[in-house]
A and B are shown apart, each in its own frame.
Chain A
Amino acid sequence: MIRRITGWFNRHPRATLGALLAGPLGWISIVYLGSLLILLMHAFWSKDSFTGKVEPFNWTLDAFAQIFSNPVYFTIAARTIGIALLVTIAAAAIALPVAYYMARIASPRKRALLLVAVTMPLWASYLVKIYAWRTILQTNGLLGWAISPFGLEGPGLTEIANSWLVLTYLWLPYMILPVYAGLERIPNSLLEASADLGGRGWITFRRVIFPQLIPALAAGSIFTFSLSIGDYIVPDLVSDAKFIGNVIYDNSALGSFPVAAAFSFVPIIVMIGYLLFARRLGAFESL
């Protein structure tokens, strides 16, 4: 019986392809794309101004009008994208040396240990890590206590730089791991050849290693950038600035759902643009 079915599938490769894809594609299309479309439709629906209830299929551009007429939304979007880029750059700057050490210098035992060490924090609760940072960054927190001999005070919980720091901290493993994998893939022979040809360390790095790492960096940056651009819990807890995620969350939690839906267009468009750019750099093969 099984033979007859599998035999039939063998003779009809396109049917096999269809059967394989039907499940995952169907799921993603219906559950994810479908719900995303429903959300985006909400952006064009009106809502009762007193009760806050959405009136489905009552088409209007009110939500967009509100967003475009108030410059704060642009400020928030620019601020978020800026921080997300800074986080990506910082994560890459930290990840490169660490991954290089892990991949090329550390002994196999150390390498295994470091891999576990870098992966472990992913298992610690995201929320608890942020609260630990609050303890560090409060005016009289750990950091404040450590630098008080120099007459300085802790940053307190209103600095936007806190968000940059904590976001970089949270997403660092997501940048280290792909870069490590990318470095591991570079054959030793390539580096020896470069050295033989007279390329000293920095030149080898710049001309040989770095170009090979671009897909890995792009892959890691997808996570650091996207996770930063949508986050609303970190800016809420360690700074007083509002990010794109806060606008979306606040509006959805407080009854202005069409505005939340309309503003969602911003991160969606930005991320799709970023993904297309990253794909060109080869990120999808290094994910």
Chain B
Amino acid sequence: MKRFKGVTLLAVLALLVAACGGSTSESAAPSGDEKPAGWLEALGAAEGELNLIIWPGYAERGEYEGFNWVDPFEAETGCKVNVTAMTDSNNGVQLLQSGQYDGGSFSGDASVRLMTAGDVAPVNVDLLSNYAAVFSGLKNQAHNSKDGMPYGVPHGRGPNLLMWNTDVVTTAPTSWDAVWDGTAAVNGKISIYDSSIYIADAAIHLMAKRPELGIKNPYQLNEEQFAAAIDLLEKQRDLGVIYWGSYADQVAGFASGDLVIGTTWQFMANVLGGDTTAPKVETVMPAEGSTGWSDTWMMATKAANPNCMYLWMNHMMSAEANGQATVFFGEAATSEAACDYAETIAPGHCELTHASDEAYWESIWYRTTPREDCDDADAATTCKTQDDWVEAWTTLRGN
């Protein structure tokens, strides 16, 4: 009996030492001989191929109005770029975990999972000449770094906006109420993002309408808050919602008049605005604030083409590539240089998208993954998990 106690005590002490020892390192580069998996000490020769998981619109080759930042990259580096578009972040995680890709552009609700699971590697930013110029507000954030080490480079950030057809919705809405309460004009024609992460948007509406629920973070919801959100979503669904998985479906819906109001990214408004036969649409960031996303290019730990991936990451932080990409998508650029370039193709772009206005981003809730421990200091709170979110969404959509 005594011997067991002693052994147990030793084991507990050993564990404590190990746990404490791990968290003291603060340097950006890994110390000592122990390099994390996927770490690149120096850039080698380009491998000739690059397989990426992207959000649609993040790797354009000139099919649309001459926006092209892929062909110049291929010509310069010799890395042939193959892309697969993900439908939502959950899909993106799955794709990366399949082991067939070198990396991708991930939003916060994917990136944290990938970093935790060790599927993506920390990035040696000393090898990336364009990294220094990136806005400091995008560096070393919770969604793109772990233990003080950057795990990727920013592509851009943006909010989820409210969009409406100006012919049908004649008074410009200023609040999300328009999609939650419904009106005769819009019922049956509401466009909502088809992903479990949208539950957070319901939570944001509840934060404004039902403060007694005490929601502090729309991505970390306890039993009661979650139930209220689902209830709200069911009411919305019953108003008549058409959920969009691919942005092309939303654009087609607005163009044909099947959709008149909904949640969107600036990108779709741009596409609709660019087509003279489509109805006129407007977007707004509602008063309650919104969910948003900050996307990061990350490299898979087991990437087959790490050098090409590093070259790509550097390329996407360059002024021309980032300027073009962010103007195309309607999102905020990641550096002053990119903003200057963006001015030449779309004057006022950086102003409009609040690229360097950090105060603006305070009101945006970046996508992140729901965690059981609620991602807060209070050990007593438990929240719904990612699994719960996905299952609830499946139930909502299946009925």
Contacts and interface: CB of A to CB of B under 8 A. Distances in A.
Interface of A: 48-53, 66, 70, 72-73, 75-76, 134, 138-141, 156-158, 236-237, 240, 242, 246-247, 250-256
A237 B15 CA distance: 53
Given A134-B252, A247-B398, A53 B390 contact: no
A157 to B, nearest CB: 6
A50 B385 contact: yes
Contact of B395 (A72, A140, A158, A251): A72
25 contacts: A49-B385, A50-B369, A51-B119, A52-B90, A52-B93, A52-B113, A66-B391, A72-B394, A72-B399, A75-B398, A75-B399, A138-B256, A139-B256, A156-B258, A157-B253, A240-B241, A240-B397, A242-B394, A253-B90, A254-B196, A255-B93, A255-B94, A255-B97, A256-B387, A256-B391
B80 interface: no
A76 B114 CA distance: 31
B384 to A, nearest CB: 11
Given A51-B114, A253-B87, A254-B90, 20 more contacts: A49-B386, A50-B117, A50-B385, A51-B116, A52-B90, A72-B399, A75-B399, A141-B256, A157-B242, A240-B241, A240-B242, A242-B398, A247-B394, A247-B398, A251-B394, A253-B91, A253-B94, A254-B196, A255-B390, A256-B390
Nearest to B114: A51
B390 A254 contact: yes
Contacts of B253: 157
User: Range of interface residues on chain B?
Assistant: 35 or more
A86 B331 CA distance: 47
B90 A255 contact: yes
A-B interface, 3 closest residue pairs, ranked by CB to CB distance from nearest: A254-B90, A51-B117, A72-B398
Most buried by A among B117, B245, B252, B397: B397
Given A51-B116, A158-B242, A139 B398 contact: no
A256 B245 CA distance: 18
B188 interface: yes
B343 interface: no
Interface string B365-391: 000010110000000000001110011
Contact of A52 (B97, B188, B372): B97
A76 B257 CA distance: 29
B300 to A, nearest CB: 14
B274 interface: no
Given A49-B372, A72-B394, A140 B257 contact: yes
A242 B249 CA distance: 17
B72 interface: no
B240 interface: yes
Nearest to B115: A51
B94 A50 contact: no
Contact of A70 (B93, B249, B395): B395
Given A49-B386, A236-B245, A157 B258 contact: yes
Nearest to B113: A51
Contacts of B386: 49-50, 52
B73 interface: no
B304 to A, nearest CB: 20
B395 to A, nearest CB: 5
A50 B369 CA distance: 8
A240 B397 CA distance: 8
Contacts of A139: 256-258
Interface in B63-97: 87-88, 90-91, 93-94, 97
Given A72-B394, A75-B399, A242-B397, A50 B242 contact: no
B11 to A, nearest CB: 24
Interface string B221-262: 000000000000000000011110100010011001110000
A12 B98 CA distance: 48
A236 B194 CA distance: 11
Contacts of B88: 254
Contacts of A76: 398
A237 to B, nearest CB: 8
Given A49-B372, A247-B398, A138 B258 contact: yes
Residue in A49, A236, A255 with the greatest tally of chain B CB atoms within 10 Å: A255
| Most chain A CB atoms below 10 A, which of B87, B117, B258, B399 | B258
A254 B391 contact: no
Contacts of B372: 49-50
Among the interface residues B253, B372, B391, B398, which one has the most CB atoms of the partner chain A within 10 A? Answer: B398
Nearest to A242: B398
Contacts of B387: 49, 256
A42 to B, nearest CB: 14
A240 to B, nearest CB: 6
A262 to B, nearest CB: 13
A251 B243 CA distance: 17
A253 B386 CA distance: 14
Contacts of A50: 113, 116-117, 369, 371-372, 385-386
A253 B188 CA distance: 28
Contacts of B116: 50-51
A247 B137 CA distance: 39
Nearest to B241: A240
Contact of B97 (A53, A73, A247, A256): A53
Contacts of A158: 188, 240, 242
Contacts of B369: 50
Contacts of A236: 245
A250 B278 CA distance: 31
Contacts of B249: 237
Contacts of B94: 52, 252-255
A250 B258 contact: no
Nearest to A154: B258
